[in-house]
Amino acid sequence: MNIYEHHEIKGWFFLPEDPDNRVPGVLKWDPAKGAEIELMGGVSSLANPSLESGVVYTITDEIVASMPAQTIYLETEAGKKYSIWDAWRSSYSYNILGKLHEEQWLSRLVYVGDHVLSEEKTFTKATFYIDELYYLVNDSRILPPEWCQMEGVERPGEKLENGTLLLPYILPVLGGFQAGKFEGNTEDARYSINTFATRPWISEATEADPWFKLHFMLKHQRHGLTLAISVEASISITLRKNGEETEVLEGTVSEFLDKFMPIHDLIRLATFQPCAVAMIQLQPKNNRDDKYLLKKANEVAKPDESHDDRNVVFTLNDVSLENFLEKREYLTSTNGAISPWRILIGLCGYFSNYAEEYISQSFAAAEGFHKLCLSKGENYIDASGRSKRYCLNKRLKELYALLPQKIQDKMKFDVEEWAKRAVKARNHAAHGGPMRPGESTSLSDRYVIAVSVFLVTYLVVLNELGVPTEKICDALLNHPKLLIVMRYCDEVRSMLES
């Protein structure tokens, strides 16, 4: 069940602890907003206030907010089950008799396929389908077409007088499922990237009749026949204990969502653009049937949009999944390091509509990454052996110095002047204006400086991950969004020269 699509499900709603109190309603799923549940009547256990007949009552926000989040079950007429997790009541009304007339609930998580309380350790595996993942794997499952001889075509490739031109060919497809194309581990999770390509349906009937097999692969549309062949990638996550391969471990949905974050970070870094999850499958213990999770998205997946090969900065052939997971764990292991890391990931390919927001976040990512992710702390030892306190100017120059020379040659910054201008831009954002008279700079100047600061930080991250320098330089020349960033850097160079 796709997260990025809208869904509407009608059925009977009830609380897990009160299954006999069922009310009709509808569940509406919007990927950007989450779930909205409209009930005819109510399932709430909130005590009814004393109401007088014929009096109009106003239900205040305070009363609504007092309702705790809880799980609501839904069952359709066909018997399909849904669990609406962490739902909170947004509004409700009473009829003239003092009974609940309507209730509206909201939620960010809907489990499709069974009735399960949200924090039950029920699942053994979670599989995520995320935009752009396939292009980090680049698994060739559709091979180049080959011309061939075919029965009934006597003169292939020759155009006849009546206009006939027949070109028989074979399209080799390596169909089916391949597990573990790339694999990696952390202390408490195992990751496996899998690929799947269209294959014929297999049964006794299809194996006995090849034409019947073909029938199942074709779409019979009014304009004619269509044969769709697709290849896609997914990543499966299972849980580990103390870094060891033990028996199958069960976990909650929250645990699996938390373990997915490194893969989200990988996609953002490797593509320098927002990428969203299109579908989440959950595997319950002792149950072969996959269940599905609908989760409110910060970014809505767009799997049907066209892909541009220039959007990939690096692939898993450049940086292995195992090495990425290990390096990410190292960079975020220091106390508090995950905060600047999360800011940095969020800015990959993101351009805010609010310049001051982007300026503040860019400097927070740069300073926090140097201080916490690279473990540079508050002080450093100077050339004379004395301990000195780090300032932003020093941190920025050290970040720039970490870039390989080939990348520095592309940036071509006067580092001393760049760091000085950057400090002024940060102070302006952090302190509500210039620190000294005459230091005021335009918003556009501060913005392009902030973009350059973030770019340097991002490139340092790529270098720390082990992305080849040639790949980084190629991305700076060709990646659509990095090209925009490099044009900002041109403005920065002009500013520094002036």
Sequential DSSP letters for 243-288: TB--SPPPB-HHHHHHHHHHHHHHHHHHHTS---EEEEEEEETT--
Residue 20 and residue 23: Cα distance in Å, rounded? 9
What is the average pLDDT across 255-272? 97
Q: What is the pLDDT of residue 57?
A: 47
- pLDDT at position 376 is 94
- Residue 35 domain-assigned? yes
Copy the structure tokens of residue 485: 């960033």
What pLDDT is attached to residue 99? Answer: 72
Are 67 and 132 in a shared domain?
no
Name the nearest CA neighbour of 393 among 364, 423, 438, 369. 423
State the pLDDT at residue 383. 83
Task: Quote the pLDDT of residue 395.
Answer: 96
In a domain, 153, yes or no: no
Q: What percent of the chain is predicted at pLDDT more than 90?
A: 73
Region 275-281: what's the mean pLDDT?
A: 95
How many CB atoms within 10 Å of residue 464? Answer: 16
Q: Which of 101-110, 204-213, 334-343, 422-431 has the highest mean pLDDT?
A: 334-343
CA distances from 23 to 76, 101, 116, 259, 387 (A): 12, 11, 19, 36, 69
pLDDT of 442 > 90? The answer is no
How many structural domains comprise the chain?
3
Phi and psi based region of residue 163 (left: phi greater than 0; alpha: psi -120 to 50; beta: remaining): left
pLDDT band, residue 352 (cuts 50/70/90) = confident
Please tell me the predicted confidence (pLDDT) of residue 324.
97
Same domain, 196 and 259: yes
Residues 79 and 143 in one domain: no
Q: 293 and 186, same structural domain?
A: yes
pLDDT at 215 over 50: yes
Q: In which residue are the tokens 């799997």 written?
A: 303
At 165-177, the pLDDT tens digits run: 999 999 999 999 9
What tokens appear for 472 in the block?
A: 């980084």
Alpha-carbon torsion 396, 398, 403, 404, what sign?
Answer: positive
Angle at 13 (CA atoms; ends 10, 17), nearest 5 degrees: 160
13 with 141, same domain: the answer is: no
Report yes or no on 26 lying in a domain: yes
Confidence band for 392, pLDDT divided at 50, 70 and 90: very high
With a cut of 50, say whether residue 197 has pLDDT above it.
yes
Side chain identity at residue 247, one-letter code: E
Within a domain: 437 = yes
Can you give the pLDDT at residue 415?
Answer: 96
Match 């009829």 to its residue by tokens: 95
CA dist 448 and 493 (Å) reads 10
Identify which of 267, 265, 260 has the alpha carbon closest to the alpha carbon of residue 314: 267
pLDDT of residue 385: 87
Measured between alpha carbons, how far is 344 from 459 in angstroms, rounded to an integer?
A: 11
Identity of the amino acid at 40: M
pLDDT at 236 over 80: yes
Q: Is residue 128 part of a domain?
A: yes
Higher per-residue confidence, 291 vs 242 = 291
The span from the CA of 496 to the CA of 498, in Å, is 5
Residue 65 pLDDT > 70: no
Residue whose pair of structure tokens reads 């299809």 in the numeric block: 206
- 476 close to 482: Cβ distance less than 8 angstroms: yes
| Whole-number pLDDT of residue 68 | 67
What is the per-residue pLDDT for 430? Answer: 78
The confidence band for 401, taking pLDDT boundaries of 50, 70 and 90, is: very high
Question: Which of these ranges, 19-33, 56-70, 307-321, 436-450, has the smallest mean pLDDT?
Answer: 56-70
Which one-letter DSSP state was computed for residue 162?
A: T
**Does residue 145 sit in helix, strand or coil?**
coil
| The one-letter amino acid at 469 | T
DSSP 379: E
| Domain co-membership, 414 together with 450 | yes
* Packing angle of the helix pair 253-271, 338-347 (nearest 10 deg): 50
The helix/strand/coil state of 465 is: helix
In a domain, 159, yes or no: no
Range of lowest pLDDT (75-79, 118-122, 419-423):
118-122
Residue 69 counted as domain residue: yes
Determine the pLDDT at residue 437. 64
**pLDDT at residue 488 greater than cutoff 90:** yes
pLDDT, average across residues 160-165: 90
Structure pTM?
0.89
Q: What is the mean pLDDT of the chain?
A: 90
Q: What pLDDT was estimated at residue 45? A: 59
* Whether residue 267 sits in one domain with residue 355: no
pLDDT for residue 328 is more than 70: yes
Structural domain harbouring 137 = 123-148+166-309
Residues 293 and 144 grouped into a single domain: yes
Give 119-140 pLDDT, tens digit per residue. Answer: 888 899 999 999 999 999 988 8
Do 108 and 127 lie in one domain? The reply is no
Domain identity same for 356 and 292: no
Specify whether 209 is located in the same domain as 287. Answer: yes
pLDDT at 48 over 60: no
Q: What percent of the chain has pLDDT over 70?
A: 92
User: What is the predicted pLDDT for the residue at 330?
Assistant: 96
Q: Is residue 226 part of a domain?
A: yes
Contact between 465 and 325 under an 8 Å Cβ cutoff? The reply is no
Q: Are residues 127 and 61 in the same domain?
A: no
